[in-house]
Amino acid sequence: MRVLRWALPIALVAGVLTLPEAGNASGRAANDIDPDTADCNKVRCVALTFDDGPGPYTSKLLWILQSYHAKATFFEIGERIAEHPDWSRNVVKAGMLVGVHTWSHPYMTLQSLPEARQQLVKAVDALQKATGVTATVYRPPAGLSTPDILKIEGELGLSEILWNVVAYDWEHSAQPELTVAAVHQYAQPGAVFLLHDVHEGTVRAMAEAVPWLKRQGYVLVTVDRLIRAKTGAGPKPGHRYWDRDSGQLDPAKQG
């Protein structure tokens, strides 16, 4: 599976998207496999991951995911966690996997090592204070990192999680049908979608994409389930999973 930069085929561009009405979701009937215990070597799993939150649309996204018996992974910015701790608590209460996305979203490769460490320490601390959760997974902004930063991550108990499908949802928030089309085109077992819950268009797209994935027989899991299927264990601190360039989960690159 490759990191994607694509032009969407016209046939996949959908019409106007609307959020489902409460009580109309039918995800459990379509696919009742428990995403928390799914063996992704035996069932078709995909992982939706959301960066840059928590945001004002996160609660709607959580409603969609819960309505369809789906799980996702959220990489949250420390500043936003500190500003809206209740939003982060809601993500945890919904049973999602929550990690950090630095304190203020700088490119980490432009930070000194002490600055990079501080970005991570402050973000981890913010999540702990807001939710009681100690972060174990981390995503660097733009996927930019270095071996020295990866070492710091390991010292802080963090695994670095990248992706293998880029939906470019932030570029067309006003056209959520394009994000839906990306999901349609690139869904396959093991897909890890890079998305952002701070854009209303992304959340509207998920109202269509999540039930569609369920109808195709996919189980929507957190990234640790995919890692466990590939490596036989959960994420290990100081290891990188998936690759910004090749898009492959390659155990040989994990330390």
Catalytic sites, residue numbers: 51, 196
Residue that is written with structure tokens 């959760």 in the block: 133
Amino acid in position 232: G
Question: CB-side exposure of 87: number of CA atoms within 13 Å?
Answer: 24
- Both tokens of residue 44? 């078709």
- Measure the CA–CA gap between 250 and 78, rounded to whole angstroms: 29
The Cα-based distances of 165 to 137, 145, 193, 204, 245 in angstroms read 18, 18, 5, 19, 11
What is the helix (H) or strand (E) element at residue 161, kind and residue range?
strand 159-161
Alpha helices in the chain (DSSP H): 27-30, 58-67, 78-83, 85-93, 113-131, 147-155, 176-186, 200-215, 223-231
